[in-house]
Amino acid sequence: MVDKDCNLPQIKRLSALDGQIESGRFGNLKTEPGILIKENHPLSIVQLETRKPPTKDFLKVIKNLFEFDVPLSPNTSNVSDKTHIIWTGPNRWIIVEPETRDLTSLVKSQVKETTVAIVDLSHARSSIEIDGVMTRELLLKGAAIDFHPEVFLVKHCVQTTFFNLSALICCLDENRFNIFIARGFALDLWQKVQEAAEEFGYETL
Amino acid sequence: MLSTKNNQQTKRLSSGGLIDRSKPITFKFDGKPLMGYDGDTLASALLANNIKLVGRSFKYHRPRGIYTAGTEEPNALVALRSNARTEPNTRATNIELFDGLEAKSQNRWPNLFLDFMQINNLAGPLFTAGFYYKTFMGMPGWHFYEHFIRKAAGMGSTELERDPDAYDKKNAFCDILIIGGGPTGLSAALTAGRSGARVLIIDSSKLLGGQLLWELDQIDSKPALQWIESTLEELKEMKNVTIARRTTAFGYYDSNVVNAIESVSDHLPTPEPHTVRQRLWQIRAQKVIIATGATERPLVFSNNDRPGIMLASATRRYVNQFAVKPGNRAVIFANNDDGYKTAVNLAEKDINVRAVVDSRTHVNQFWKTKLEKLGVEIIPGSAVINTHGHFGLTGIDVASLSADQKSTSSQSTFMSADLLAISGGWSPNVHLYCHAGGRPQYEASVAAFIPGVRSQSEYPAGASNGAFSLIDCVTEGINCGNQLVTELGFSKTGFSIPQTDEPTVTPIKALWRIPGKGKKFVDIQDDVTESDIKLAHQEGYISVEHLKRYTTLGMGTDQGKTSNMNGHAIMAEERGEDIETVGTTMFRPPYIPIAMGPLAGRDIGQSYSAKRKSAIHNWHHENGAIFVDAGQWLRPQYYLKNGEANTTENMDVAITREVQGTRGSVGIVDVSTLGKIDIQGADSSEFLNRIYTNGWTKLAIGKARYGLMLREDGIVFDDGTTSRLSEDHYFMTTTTSNAASVLSHMEYCLQVHWPDLDVKISSVTEQWAAMAIAGPKSRDVLQKSTDEEDLSDEALPFMGVNQISINGIPALIFRISFSGELAYEVNVPADYGEYVWRRIMEKGKTDNITPYGTEAMAIMRIEKGHVAGGELDGRTTPDDLGLNKLISSKKEFIGRRLLKREGFLDPKRPKLVGLIPIDGKSRIRTGSILVKDPNASLPMPKLGHVSSGAYLSPTLKHPISLGLITGGTDRIGETVWATSPLHGETNEVKIVDPVFYDKQGERLNG
Amino acid sequence: MIRIKCPYCGLRDHSEFNYIGDATKIRPVSPELANDEEWFDYIYIRDNPRGVHQEYWQHITGCRSYVKVLRDTVTHEVLKTGLPSDDLLFSYEAEK
């Protein structure tokens, strides 16, 4: 059974947070909000897994497609334009971008090696973006990871326990982080982030 | 409110101290309005108001006062705040005074001055070590006495109302953690900070400086307070140094993890909006400097517990830091030079210091000259042997002490006094060192246990390391800081050791107890006396750990901070051994009492466990679903229609509606929670062959197969359907409850057992929203919902799989059935789940499509005799469940070998059957035991048990159950009894085939 | 709290891991050739050493790798970590 070629459906994707989020400023309003929270949606997420350390051919194909190198070290990622490739395990990565094209089909059409497993996870993960001067403080409340700016650099990524949930945390910018969470837990995590941000004052977008 | 002119702070000095006289604070103690100043503790404010009696003792209800000025306080425990915010057993010496503070004394009834429980004091001889157990246990009625005994001996009581405040947690990382901001900690912080290392320094107080805040020491010829100020200024400038105040390290755990509590709002009436009361810190440091100081020890003599008797260091702190006179006429009793320092401090603050009683005979010339000038008498070679007064100290008896300290002169001198400052030397705060795994060693030169060998990366320094002089503290701080930065690869920086003005010290002479009769308190919080320890020894207790548990020495909320050393030394004397041999008890976390709030953090109530919601959750919510927890998932249990109240009757109505709607026409259920695993790679078929009991190599592409997984020991682990999407690509489903463990099991097999297999697996549970459409009309409804897909038997036969399109949305469709009806499982990308569900509901309207929940789903599977959680209970084999046809004899698979073990071949093993109540209506409780004769004598021979049941089968119109019974289906037609002794239920049941409905499976074809 | 070094992700809290069990037991490579004794030993027999123990933990909220951990059961100290194919005990002894 071969995957049918398909263009993106016309129907609007509903995120796990759809209709659940009130936008505005909350918590401590004495100062400018220390935290900004928003959801990145809809995203295309494709997981690639190779049997062994990736072949030169595979690396070349990815480089040609996205203009970035596959990050070979744990806890790292690479970015090009709007696409992000993140190490998620030995010989395993996810490629993430805002949904504008059928990314899975694109990758499948280009990566010909049969030993590469390509899995569409576009709907499996929600992405919550946290920004603001107190972001690293907030992350420390949920994860036992050293978020010191000289340790956790831009493009650094970790998979860890975040507020008791499995999460992938990526640093996009000095104070801007993207958190990937299983879709079913998205609302739960959103609420936990809100609670933790109370004292800093936060704005939801 | 109290006006300033009523300010009764009669014991407040007119100047000095680290209090702000421009910021008066009103508070209440036992309902009485009082005033203090910003910078006070509750204890210092009470003393300023001449309140010395603050509580009653634990066992004897003796009047008790403020004994210390810090964390070690055993006596002055109060109930702080009121109603839901009440905190019992809070140390008055640690509470920062705030406006509107309310505190109540504890363990007295009806009030502090008239306490009926005082009778315990007269009955004193009764209340010796082990009293309760010796007297009451084993006697009939122990449970009756226990209630009263526990009430008479006790501490504060807790509130049952929910705490209205929030608590928080945070993690922290650093190169060097410094615990304690006294002279040692600050010196270490400066040294380490200048090298560039990431330093975190935490201190339990609002003000850093430790003991320097109230001692009159000079550093480099300037008051110590100036040194603190300039040090803090430099530290604040360093970006690599973080200072956390009001943060107390309470436990040192494995892997150099230190936990601390930050008192974010304890110094405020209520937390500021949006803030928390306390925060739990988990600190992960490469190196930890323990600069926690030392605790002064009391001396053990008759009636050493009266209000007005206080540690010498505490009296210095009250006069110097809080500008409070703890008494007017003072006597000082010590076995070390701190007695003289105290005398000078108190005398300079206008307190009439009558004498310093020194147990030692040699007196340093420096102090002799100084005290002579102040007119304070020195009484060497003597001891305080008794005290007088009831609610407060009125006088003491002094007698000379023999050279061996074992007897005193028969003559004693009375001295009138309302303050007795005592010092028995200092015990280093080795608690955190012990938590880290260290065993302290006895050091005779300082008469204390000091840290020994290092277990992790903990570095005790200064007073906590037995270095008690200021110059030694500063020196150790600097050296320790330098050592650690070097070890961490930073370069050390020049930092010269400052000068101090301390006189030469005459060594301490250990004095563990003073001869004499009467109650000599060792542990003043638990009312453990010297004679309790003697008694324990006489009764054969040797180990200090046993002594602790037998006498309760050191078992109070203060964990023996002031009492352990004296108690253990007395035990050593009784045994005639040296202290090193007898040893000390092991300190364990927490160092201070910790509220449950910060440990729980925000994981309370509804937030205790994360809520996992399917993509269709909102639809369920809007359409009357009553949810049930399935692990972390929330699943619709059944749906109430407009206006139906959630009663058991309406639940039955809903379930009946859902089952009949499905079997009669068409139903739809959300099965997104089933585990889904994507399997790819050249060896996928081989891998499935090894983890499933049945064969997979011959499964055609586009087909699904039911699979059974075993554990290595042959017990059934999980079941589900797996489909072949292409040559090397499979899609597996697992039960909801085993989704995580099946994935981990498969990863274990691939990473540990068979790393040579080319298989890549990944959880795709959350990628797909899944719904099962079941019932004779399911094909029609689905046909209308899809984009002209061919759903005929030819295109999609039973156990067929296809990829179809639903209004442009790609869907994986499986023709599988759990209900026994013609049924399809439709998987769509999760963000389209709600849309597709709504579309199917819309298209199914004419066929009266019924959404159904887990109850109806469970009933229908029991009607069909399908096994699920109740049967896959970790004890059953494939044969027990009638699944032997799924066991391949042609290949190896996990669990195969142990299937053949003797116990599994036993013909008496209970096997799956159906059960029906004989009367056609009695509810058979799941878990009931199946027996032949319900009147047989106990223990009744057990034939089996009821594994799952439906108390109403809307299809069969009577209750049905599945069970496992010896003999299994060979017994069909027999009757046995299902009994649940716990509920007093016994019902006669008939054994039937486990498939109750549509035995031929004809309905699968619609 | 124990901190465990995942060979891939680095030093992490043990709460990111699931404890799996004894790593010294190896599944019979040829299941059909192994005798009852070998199977019994593999499935049921576990030592409970005082001191050094080689065990598996899975980095469950991390990269999902199975990590071999050499741990002292008395002090809880994690002495060494590695991949399933590593013989930690051997290299630990060799380094000592």
Domain membership flag for residue B558? no
Residue B623 backbone dihedrals phi, psi, to 5 degrees: -115, 35
Least confidently predicted of B50-54, B105-109, B689-693, B901-905: B105-109
pLDDT-derived band at B124, boundaries 50, 70, 90:
low
B832–A125 C-beta distance less than 8 A: no
Residue B435 backbone dihedrals phi, psi, to 5 degrees: -55, -40
Q: Which residues contact B708 (CB under 8 A, 6 or more apart)?
A: B692, B693, B694, B716, B719, B878, B883, B886
Residues B203 and B331 in one domain: no
Domain membership flag for residue B217? yes
Residues B880 and B908 in one domain: no
Map tokens 């007093």 to a residue: B984
- What tokens appear for B306 in the block? 């009266």
- How many Cβ pairs within 8 Å bridge chains B and C? 52
Residue B958 backbone dihedrals phi, psi, to 5 degrees: -150, 165
B898–C58 C-beta distance less than 8 A: no
**Dihedral sign, Cα of residue C62, residue C65, residue C67, residue C73:** positive
- What tokens appear for B766 in the block? 């959350």
pLDDT at B33: 96
Last residue in a domain, options B894, B927, B953: B894
Domain membership flag for residue B670? yes
CATH of the domain at B418: 3.50.50.60
* Chain A residues near any Cβ of chain C (below 8 Å): 74-75, 88-90, 92, 144, 158-161, 165-167
Nearest chain B residue (CA) to C68? B752
Return d(Cα B104, Cα B85) in angstroms, integer: 13
Nearest chain B residue (CA) to C28? B753
Residues B852 and B928 in one domain: no
What residues in B contact C77, CB-CB < 8 Å?
A: 254
Higher pLDDT, B144 or B242: B242
The DSSP element (H or E) to which B357 belongs, if any, is strand B352-358
User: Span B303-310, mean pLDDT?
Assistant: 97
**Closest by Cβ to B255, choosing from C3, C44, C65:** C3
pLDDT at B370: 96
pLDDT at B788: 86
pLDDT-derived band at B112, boundaries 50, 70, 90:
confident
What residues in A contact B610, CB-CB < 8 Å?
A: 164-165, 185, 188-189
Least confidently predicted of A102-106, B121-125, B251-255: B121-125
Residues B707 and B718 in one domain: yes
C65–B257 C-beta distance less than 8 A: no
Least confidently predicted of B82-86, B158-162, B191-195, B510-514: B158-162
B995: exposed, middle or buried (Cβ count in 10 Å: 0-12, 13-18, 19+): middle
Domain membership flag for residue B526? no
Domain membership flag for residue B594? no
Q: How far is B484 from chain C (nearest CA, A)?
A: 21
Interface test with C, best of B257, B286, B747, B752 (most C CBs within 10 A): B752
Return d(Cα C2, Cα B437) in angstroms, integer: 14
In the three-class reduction of DSSP (H, G, I as helix; E, B as strand; rest coil), residue B838 is classed as helix
Helical H segments across B322-447, by residue range = 338-348, 365-374, 431-435
A159–C62 C-beta distance less than 8 A: yes
**pLDDT beyond 60 at B953:** yes
A159–C63 C-beta distance less than 8 A: yes
CA angle B162, B165, B166 (to 5 degrees): 115
Q: How far is A36 from chain C (nearest CA, A)?
A: 25
C61–A159 C-beta distance less than 8 A: yes
What residues in A contact B632, CB-CB < 8 Å?
A: 185
Least confidently predicted of B59-63, B514-518, B661-665, B961-965: B59-63
Least confidently predicted of B108-112, B359-363, B814-818: B108-112
Q: How far is A16 from chain C (nearest CA, A)?
A: 21
Angle in degrees, 0-180, between the axes of helices B224-237 and B183-195, rounded to the nearest 10: 30
What residues in B contact A58, CB-CB < 8 Å?
A: none
Residues B207 and B197 in one domain: yes
CATH of the domain at C20: 3.30.2270.10
A148 contact B CB<8A: yes
Residue B474 and residue B500 in contact, taking contact as beta carbons nearer than 8 Å: yes
Domain membership flag for residue B135? no
For B178-213, how does the pLDDT look when each residue is reduced to its tens digit (9 = 90+)?
999 999 999 999 999 999 999 999 999 999 999 999
pLDDT at B493: 78
For A114-156, how does the pLDDT look when each residue is reduced to its tens digit (9 = 90+)?
899 999 999 999 999 999 999 999 999 999 999 999 999 999 9
Domain membership flag for residue B515? no
Q: How far is C3 from chain A (nearest CA, A)?
A: 10
C1–B747 C-beta distance less than 8 A: no
Q: What residues does B427 pair with on adjacent strands?
A: B295
In the three-class reduction of DSSP (H, G, I as helix; E, B as strand; rest coil), residue A152 is classed as coil
Last residue in a domain, options B404, B423, B442: B423
pLDDT at B60: 87
- Kindly report the average pLDDT of chain B as a whole number: 94
Interface test with A, best of C1, C57, C63 (most A CBs within 10 A): C63
Domain boundaries, chain A: 32-204
**pLDDT beyond 50 at B2:** no
- What tokens appear for C79 in the block? 């002495």
Q: Which of B479, B556, B515 shows the shortest CA–CA distance to B192?
A: B479
Residues B900 and B793 in one domain: no
Q: Hey, what amino acid is at B215?
A: E
Residue A27 and residue A193 in contact, taking contact as beta carbons nearer than 8 Å: no
**pLDDT beyond 80 at B118:** no
Residue B986 backbone dihedrals phi, psi, to 5 degrees: -140, 125
Q: What residue numbers bound the domain in which B81 lies? A: 4-127
pLDDT at B642: 84
User: Span B168-172, mean pLDDT?
Assistant: 97
Number of domains in chain B: 5
C60–A89 C-beta distance less than 8 A: no
Q: Hey, what amino acid is at B559?
A: Q
Return d(Cα C54, Cα C84) in angstroms, integer: 11
pLDDT at B113: 75
Strands (E), B551-698: 625-630, 633-639, 667-670, 675-680
For C29-52, how does the pLDDT look when each residue is reduced to its tens digit (9 = 90+)?
999 999 999 999 999 999 999 999
C9–A158 C-beta distance less than 8 A: yes
What residues in B contact C65, CB-CB < 8 Å?
A: 751
Q: Which of B676, B729, B678, B688 shows the shortest CA–CA distance to B888?
A: B688
pLDDT-derived band at B109, boundaries 50, 70, 90:
low
For B778-800, how does the pLDDT look when each residue is reduced to its tens digit (9 = 90+)?
999 999 999 888 999 999 999 99
CATH number of A32-204: 3.30.1360.120
What residues in B contact C84, CB-CB < 8 Å?
A: 751-752, 755
Residue B87 backbone dihedrals phi, psi, to 5 degrees: -120, 110
**pLDDT beyond 70 at B313:** yes
CATH of the domain at B681: 3.30.1360.120
For B695-746, how does the pLDDT look when each residue is reduced to its tens digit (9 = 90+)?
999 999 999 999 999 999 999 999 999 999 999 999 999 999 999 999 999 9
Q: Which of B435, B431, B419 shows the shortest CA–CA distance to B387?
A: B419
B756 contact C CB<8A: no
B496 contact C CB<8A: no
pLDDT at B1: 45
Residues B862 and B767 in one domain: yes
Query: Strand order of the sheet with strand B419-423?
Result: B309-311, B419-423, B329-334, B352-358, B377-380
What residues in A contact C16, CB-CB < 8 Å?
A: 144, 160-161
pLDDT at B59: 85
**pLDDT beyond 70 at B5:** no
Residue B811 backbone dihedrals phi, psi, to 5 degrees: -135, 145
C63–A89 C-beta distance less than 8 A: yes
Number of domains in chain C: 1
Q: What residue numbers bound the domain in which C9 lies? A: 3-95
Map tokens 């915010």 to a residue: B85
Residues B415 and B441 in one domain: no
pLDDT at B189: 97
For B846-890, how does the pLDDT look when each residue is reduced to its tens digit (9 = 90+)?
999 999 999 999 999 999 999 999 999 999 999 999 999 999 999
Residues B857 and B915 in one domain: no
Nearest chain B residue (CA) to C30? B892
What residues in A contact B166, CB-CB < 8 Å?
A: 195
A161–C9 C-beta distance less than 8 A: no
What residues in B contact C27, CB-CB < 8 Å?
A: 712, 752-753
Nearest chain B residue (CA) to A19? B618
B744–C60 C-beta distance less than 8 A: yes
**pLDDT beyond 90 at B586:** no
**pLDDT beyond 90 at B831:** yes
Return d(Cα B784, Cα B781) in angstroms, integer: 5
- What tokens appear for B191 in the block? 């040294």
User: Span B824-851, mean pLDDT?
Assistant: 98
Interface test with B, best of A41, A162, A165, A199 (most B CBs within 10 A): A199
Last residue in a domain, options B487, B516, B536: B487
Residues B710 and B814 in one domain: yes
pLDDT at A113: 87
**pLDDT beyond 50 at B841:** yes
**pLDDT beyond 80 at C62:** yes
DSSP letters, B944-986, are EEEEEEEEEETTTTEEEEEEEEETGGGGTT-EEEEEETTTTEE
Domain membership flag for residue B151? no
What residues in B contact A201, CB-CB < 8 Å?
A: 274
